[in-house]
Chain A
Amino acid sequence: MRHLHKGVSFAIGLAVLGASLAGCGGGSSSSSDSGQIELSIGTFTEFGYEDLITEYEQLHPNIKITHHKTGEGGPYHQNLITKLAAGNGLEDVVAVEEGHFSDIIDKSSKFNDLTEIGPKDVTPDRWLDWKYEAGKDSDGRLIGYGTDIGPLALCYRTDLLQAAGLPSDPEGVKALFATWDSYFAAGAQYVASTGGKAWFDASSQLYNSMVNQLDTGYLDRDDNLTIESNPGIRAAWDRITTAIQGGQSAKLVAFGNEWKTGFQQGSFATTVCPSWMLGVVEENAGPDNAGKWAVTDAFPNGGGNWGGSYLTVPKQSQHPKEAAELAAWLTAPEQQLKAFQARGNFPSQTQALTSPQLLQQTEPYFGDTKIGQLYADQAKKVTRAQYKGPGDGQIQENVTSPALQAVEQGTSPAEAWQQVVDGAKKIVK
């Protein structure tokens, strides 16, 4: 064994040395002699950019684009922050998701101001106001061009609502979903008339949407923690924990395995549906449940947004001007409409929202609902973007969602609230 070890480690040693020597030679040169410019772009999951990139290369023969595509958002953003810190290795155009954008804004000095380097004809009125505003850092520099958004609506099971004696047609459901009070009242009625079946899938989904609707979130503009002083946060907490204790929650963890099973078994009647969720519902509920799920243009207490991304140009980029041009082109209404048709990412550009292409889009799984029109209407209900300070996403993922899960598992709301306060304070030191 010992002898074997030496031999193996020697071989490994040689291999590693060889590899590292070889690695030193191959630095990335971003421009070649012929005046051609090489750009790279980094995205995660599906942006629908494949055809667009080919098109851009045809329009700009002097530009060659490498597309780095990553499957999952979480590791992609960790990698992004690490490379940002390392000072190299990032692409010229880097996509950032809304939920991670506050971490980027925190280090905004490492990014270019797109109003300075970007094409001058790209003006704020290209985007919905709030989407444009949320792309700026606290000094008002524009860090990201908006790509897609996730306007909120609610999905519901028509058959289950019917069976419980509740209205199930779009107009009737709209009344149920008018406010959070009416929504939870309908939930109580649903639980009572079905003998204890759950009204919604996971409390954190609703709670995050409620907090998102507030004027101020977990952090105020000066990055102070508001969790104890903000009455809206506490009110949302009380509302949702009351609903949990009334048996309205299916106690599933969103995006977990059992959540998917829950969709197949119809163990809840409603779920929060940002535009990108339609595909998720369809995939999880499966063909057996086709036609049972529906979506309507109503969300309690007005609209809201969940998800969507930005394209940024880090200062590491060797060709910031060309990179900004590419990002500007990709986020133009025409291109975002194509991306929407390719992958269903809902555009954030005002012009795209009135395009017939978008408004005519229907979804057979949801009973041929005109989803383009529906989400365009929902998008218009969002009036402003809530300020997200550094640590906001972490509080949501690592503090409030687990605490709500604890309430679902039997912890008292008071004890879980203490968990929230302590946890949030630990993150915002």
Chain B
Amino acid sequence: MTTVVEKPPRQDAPRERAKPTLRHRLSRWDVKFSPYVYIAPFFVVFGLTGLFPLLYTAYVSLFDWEIGDDDPKFIGLENFVTLFGDAQFWNALVNTISIFLLSSVPQVIIAVLLAALLSLRLRFPASWRVGILLPYSASLVALGIIFANLFGPRYGLVNAMLETFGLDRVEWQANRFASHLAIATMVNWRWTGYNALIVLAAMQALPRDVYEAAVVDGAGAVRRFFSVTLPMLRPTLIFVVITSTIGGLQIFTEPKLFDAMPGSNNGGSQHQFQTLTLYLYQSAFEGFDLGYASAIAWLLFLLIILIALANFLITRRLAATTGLKR
């Protein structure tokens, strides 16, 4: 990927410092400022649709702001205080983290293993690769409905299968852990292949000579995987872990569609699988309590940054300890 471009001789630096002509000046400004103008649209749009809502949400979170209020009351940090004493919030937080762990951890591990398998010599490699991406291309809402049917407590296919094997049926919606497991299955089914492809792409870009050296040194396939492949995949793994953290903590559609009550944001009869985003949505659009919902949104934002940071450090540390030390 490294191409060497020969630098053209500098033309705009004349030996004698003559007074630059207008044409010269324009051309220098062009070089200096045009790039900023070219990328400006992104930042303008980001400012309007990304930064402004973010800051405005922080502003709204300081008010007792019901939708349609003419002059909402400023209450400072009271929404946050209420939130910290709100059992439903903590419940949603634990649910979110539990579903996130149940989905992200197996997902990344399986993705790396899948990628390793896919990088072997296979017949029709493209069709295998496309095959693992197929779940990702299906509509999320359709998947949610199908999986909610599979995990139906009374007429669901999964329970019917458990029974044919002589096992007890599982109350997929009533049991808190079972519901998290079912939702995580949905997430994993959809995202594992996608992550595997990203890891595979990175794997194929790894330099061959390192492997050849490892083979010469007598390293077996397993040793090569753990001592060569994994450490060199570090940047990609960090990327995969962080994107799945962001996605995992914002999980919304899957738990919403998993609820047997259509359109419900309750996340089960006793909020067994109500995630933070579901609670946020319920506060904002069923309770019409925008201030409170904004407070939840900001805590979620901070939480994502915190966990992403922790993940980044852990992944770096993990990969570093087994890294190439010469």
Chain A interface residues (CB < 8 Å from chain B): 6, 9-10, 12-14, 16-17, 72, 74, 78, 81-82, 84-85, 103, 107, 110, 251-258, 261-262, 265, 394, 397-398, 401-403, 405-406, 408-411, 419, 426-427
B264 vs chain A, min Cβ distance (A): 7
B299 vs chain A, min Cβ distance (A): 18
Cβ contact within 8 Å between B260 and A258: yes
Question: Which residues of chain A are within 8 angstroms of B266 by Cβ–Cβ distance?
Answer: 398, 402
Question: Which residues of chain A are within 8 angstroms of B260 by Cβ–Cβ distance?
Answer: 253, 256-258, 405
Known: A74-B263, A253-B261, A406-B270. A17 touches B41 (CB 8 A): yes
Chain B interface residues (CB < 8 Å from chain A): 38-39, 41-42, 44-45, 49, 67-69, 88, 145, 148-149, 152-156, 171, 173-174, 260-266, 268-270, 282, 285-288
Cβ contact within 8 Å between A256 and B261: yes
Cβ contact within 8 Å between A398 and B282: yes
- Cα separation A59 to B186 with both chains bound (whole Å): 55
Cβ contact within 8 Å between B154 and A403: no
Chain B residue at minimum C-beta to C-beta distance from A402: B269
Question: Which residues of chain B are within 8 angstroms of A10 by Cβ–Cβ distance?
Answer: 38-39, 41-42
Chain A interface main SS type: helix
Question: Which residues of chain B are within 8 angstroms of A84 by Cβ–Cβ distance?
Answer: 68
Cβ contact within 8 Å between B155 and A6: no
Count: A-B pairs, CB below 8 Å: 97
Question: Which residues of chain A are within 8 angstroms of B38 by Cβ–Cβ distance?
Answer: 10
- Cα separation A411 to B152 with both chains bound (whole Å): 19
Partner among A13, A110, A401, A419 whose Cβ is within 8 Å of the Cβ of B270: A419
Question: Which residues of chain B are within 8 angstroms of A257 by Cβ–Cβ distance?
Answer: 145, 148-149, 152, 260
Chain B residue at minimum C-beta to C-beta distance from A82: B67
Partner among B68, B155, B264, B288 whose Cβ is within 8 Å of the Cβ of A397: B264
Chain A residue at minimum C-beta to C-beta distance from B263: A74
Cβ contact within 8 Å between B261 and A255: yes
A225 vs chain B, min Cβ distance (A): 15
- Cα separation A191 to B3 with both chains bound (whole Å): 80
B274 vs chain A, min Cβ distance (A): 10
Cβ contact within 8 Å between A81 and B41: no
Question: Which residues of chain B are within 8 angstroms of A402 by Cβ–Cβ distance?
Answer: 261, 264, 266, 268-270
Instruction: Show 23 A/B contacts (Cβ-Cβ < 8 Å), sorted by A.
Output: A6-B39, A6-B42, A12-B45, A17-B44, A81-B67, A84-B68, A107-B68, A110-B68, A252-B154, A253-B261, A255-B261, A256-B260, A256-B262, A257-B149, A257-B260, A258-B155, A261-B152, A261-B154, A397-B286, A405-B261, A406-B269, A411-B269, A419-B270
A250 vs chain B, min Cβ distance (A): 8
Partner among A6, A78, A251, A394 whose Cβ is within 8 Å of the Cβ of B154: A251
- Cα separation A402 to B286 with both chains bound (whole Å): 15
Question: Which residues of chain A are within 8 angstroms of B41 by Cβ–Cβ distance?
Answer: 10, 13-14, 16-17
Partner among B44, B262, B269, B287 whose Cβ is within 8 Å of the Cβ of A394: B287
B203 vs chain A, min Cβ distance (A): 16
A421 vs chain B, min Cβ distance (A): 14
- Cα separation A230 to B39 with both chains bound (whole Å): 64
Question: Which residues of chain B are within 8 angstroms of A258 by Cβ–Cβ distance?
Answer: 152-156, 260
Question: Which residues of chain B are within 8 angstroms of A397 by Cβ–Cβ distance?
Answer: 261, 264, 286
Partner among B174, B261, B265, B287 whose Cβ is within 8 Å of the Cβ of A427: B287
Cβ contact within 8 Å between A409 and B269: yes
Cβ contact within 8 Å between B45 and A17: yes
Cβ contact within 8 Å between A13 and B44: yes
- Cα separation A86 to B29 with both chains bound (whole Å): 44
A2 vs chain B, min Cβ distance (A): 12
Chain B residue at minimum C-beta to C-beta distance from A87: B68
Chain B residue at minimum C-beta to C-beta distance from A110: B68
A12 vs chain B, min Cβ distance (A): 7
Cβ contact within 8 Å between A81 and B68: yes
Partner among B45, B153, B269 whose Cβ is within 8 Å of the Cβ of A16: B45
